Structure 1
Amino acid sequence: MKVRIELSYKTPKGSEALFTSDEMRDAHAILIAEDLVKTGRAKQVMFIDRHENTWTMKEMKKFMEGIKTEPHHVKVYFDGGFDLKDKNSGLGCVIYYEQNNKSYRIRRNARVQELNTNNEAEYAALHLGLHELELLGVHHLHVTFVGDSKVVINQLNGEWPCYEAELSLWIDRIEAKFEKLGITPEYEIVSRKLNREADHLASQALNGTEITSNIELS
């Protein structure tokens, strides 16, 4: 989860001012806030998430302790490819997450025949990632979804309208899954180069190579 810090700062002579930080990861925010509190001048420290929910230092630490044994700090890379010749689609997703103070990576791909366009394949790849999150037991968390499809990400975040019936159905499926799992999505658009892992998995699926792995990262 990403939050910003809000606090009241008081000088030795009694002058006060309210400060708000940039958005940062929750664990980093706690470290910064604790350091500021040590000065003895930072008062009324609060953490505010993207939905304007507020957390005290005690509440934030309790939340962090509670999720330590469950998958958290989850980031999903997704990519889909469509072959016009044989009408097959290749889906790829890579999931990074932390659990019990360790880091892990899931790689998964799939070859499907029910789709008709590259945009549908992109949506299906994201949905594949959501299916893996459900199997992993991810729930009630902020999750970052990273892809190189401007269409998918801008339609999901509401920046672009969606006029195609097939894509609207995918949006409905994905949003229903978000609600079921209690996931609050955050989106990042990256270049294809920075989405290389998911892109490679999608290409492997089109070539008939199935990949399923979950490894601990050193």
Structure 2
Amino acid sequence: MKITIEWTYKTKNGIETTFRSEEMPPAHALTIGEDLEKTGRVKKIQFIDQHDSTWMAKELKKYIKEIETEPHNVKVYFDGGYDIQTSHAGLGIAIYYEQNGKQYRLRRNAPASGLNSNNEAEYAALHLAIVELDLLDVHHQTVQFIGDSQVVINQMSGEWPAYEKELAGWADRIDEKLNNLGITPEFQLVPRKSNSEADRLATQSMQGIEITGQIELQ
């Protein structure tokens, strides 16, 4: 979940105006909101989520306390590779998240069969990542999905239509899975060099190297 702060500011001579912040994590919004109130110039402050629901500060505090024990602030990097000569495909994902005040990284790769293109491999990697989110019990929150595939990112974000039957099928399955988990996706397109970890995992899978691991980040 992301929160926007909206507040009314009043000057010493009584002039009022309303400000609205950019979206931010709930804990950041609460900290800034409490700091604004200390100025003594804020007449009204609201915390608004992505669905335009308004939260009181005490409700936001309760929510933050509840999610501390669950994975949150989740970022997912994904990539898929496909060898047209052998029809072998490899999938790679790296998931970063926070839980109980600590930061973690989960990495996994996997081979895939029955695919016919690199675009399908990219979609399969995204689907694998969502399966892992389900296993991590990530639900009812906003998750960032980061990849270097223009096709997947633009189709999943609604910028491009999915005309190919196979790709449209993957998109539908992914949307259904996200809806079932209550995940609001944010898709971000990055250059390949910024997705090197997932790319390397996908390549290693195609080379027969299996990687599955989870570590706490220092």
TM class, shorter-length: over 0.9
Alignment correspondent of 1:173:
173
Is residue 142 of structure 2 the alignment partner of residue 142 of structure 1?
yes
| 8 Å CA contact retained: 1:45, 1:57 | no
- After alignment, is 50-59 or 138-147 more displaced? 50-59
What is the CA–CA distance in structure 2 between the aligned matches of 1:9 and 1:18, rounded to whole Å? 6
What is the CA–CA distance in structure 2 between the aligned matches of 1:170 and 1:73, rounded to whole Å? 25
Is residue 53 of structure 2 the alignment partner of residue 60 of structure 1?
no
What is the CA–CA distance in structure 1 between the aligned matches of 2:89 and 2:149, rounded to whole Å? 15
Normalized against structure 2, the TM-score is what? Answer: 0.97
Is residue 20 of structure 2 the alignment partner of residue 39 of structure 1?
no
Q: Note the residue ranges of structure 1 that are not aligned, 5 or more in a row.
A: none
Q: Write the mapping of 1:83-94 to structure 2, written as runs, cut at 5 A.
A: 83-94=83-94
What is the CA–CA distance in structure 2 between the aligned matches of 1:89 and 1:49, rounded to whole Å? 39
Q: Note the residue ranges of structure 2 that are not aligned, 5 or more in a row.
A: none
Q: CA RMSD in A?
A: 1.0
Partner of 1:24, secondary structure, is coil
| 8 Å CA contact retained: 1:70, 1:99 | yes
Q: CA deviation at 1:32?
A: 1.3
Alignment correspondent of 2:23:
23
Aligned positions, number: 218
The letter for the 1-side match of 2:31 is L
What is the CA–CA distance in structure 2 between the aligned matches of 1:50 and 1:182, rounded to whole Å? 13
Identity of counterpart residues, as a percentage?
60
Q: CA deviation at 1:34?
A: 1.0
What is the CA–CA distance in structure 1 between the aligned matches of 2:214 and 2:66, rounded to whole Å? 23
The letter for the 2-side match of 1:121 is A
- Structure 1 residues 169-189: Cα deviation after superposition (integer angstroms, max 9, x where no partner): 101110111111111111111
Poorly superposed stretches of 4+, deviation over 4 Å:
none
